[in-house]
Structure 1
Amino acid sequence: MMSNEGLGMTGNVVYEKAYKLAIRIVNAYRYLCDERKEFVLSKQLLRSGTSIGANIAEAQGAISKADFRAKMSIAYKESLEVQYWLSLLKDTGYLKPKAFESLQADAAEVSRILCKIVKSSTQTSSNSKILSPN
């Protein structure tokens, strides 16, 4: 099993939390497919849940501030999508309330962090434009 340490992301709190969430999402996907025989909604959850960390990883290699903001914004939107799919899976009876609450709490935490990063990077960019001589 490959760890996220090979990507040079240790110490990056949001990446580490997103990576752990992705592992939980993969395990939830397996459960939903194997035990609950649900294949459509769970695939959407898998896609969005693993996309968060991938976009954060891409943001770390951004070639500009705008590129960084764009990737982190996508990661944030994917985290919101995860919360949607989790709610839908719970409300349709595929996901038990206890599992939902735990996964939802992790997804909400990642969303909050990403939202702060996106807002902060946007404010920094806006401030630099105001202060720029051009």
Structure 2
Amino acid sequence: MINGKENVLYAKAYASATRVVKAHQYLGQEKREFVLAKQLLRSGTSIGANVAEANGAISDAEFSAKLSIAYKGCLETKYWLDLLKDTNFNDEKQDRSLYADADELGRMLFASIRKVRGIRTDK
């Protein structure tokens, strides 16, 4: 854990995952879209699961690796959200909100990865 940030990160990832689960339910029940919804569910909930695993890491390398997987989950989640929006399954407001969650998590994860790896940002 870096200065307690992973607890904030975990809480945000968990809150985002609950929203993704609700979006999955909506897409299945209201839009009858199951394939893309399942992909969104898988990637969107994996972010928090990997953050939870990172918090239990026994080395900086394991911690960094799990955060990297979570970061990639954010990128994948944004891809599925874009696809759902562009195929008219998600409305603009819902998409913007879920996308903003994934984007914020991605920035937080990337900053944490850089910090644990000792990568300077002030070159």
- Fold similarity call, TM over 0.5: yes
1:86 aligns with 2:76: no
Using CA pairs below 8 Å that are at least 6 residues apart, which structure has the higher relative contact order?
2
1:47 aligns with 2:42: yes
Secondary structure, aligned partner of 1:79? helix
The equivalent residue for 1:63 is: 58
Q: In the TM superposition, what are the counterparts of 1:31-46 in structure 2 within 5 Å?
A: 31-46=26-41
Q: In the aligned structure 1, how far is the partner of 2:82 from the partner of 2:74?
A: 13
Aligned with residue 72 of structure 1, among 67, 76, 91:
67
Q: In the aligned structure 2, how far is the partner of 1:89 from the partner of 1:111?
A: 19
1:96 aligns with 2:91: yes
Structure 1 letter corresponding to 2:95:
F
Q: In the aligned structure 1, how far is the partner of 2:96 from the partner of 2:67?
A: 25
Q: For the aligned residues, what is the CA RMSD?
A: 1.6
Gaps of 5+ in 2: none
Q: In the aligned structure 1, how far is the partner of 2:89 from the partner of 2:18?
A: 19
Identity %: 56
Gaps of 5+ in 1: 1-8, 127-134
CA apart distance, 1:42: 0.7
Q: Which has the larger radius of gyration?
A: 1
The alignment covers a number of residue pairs equal to: 116
The equivalent residue for 1:129 is: none
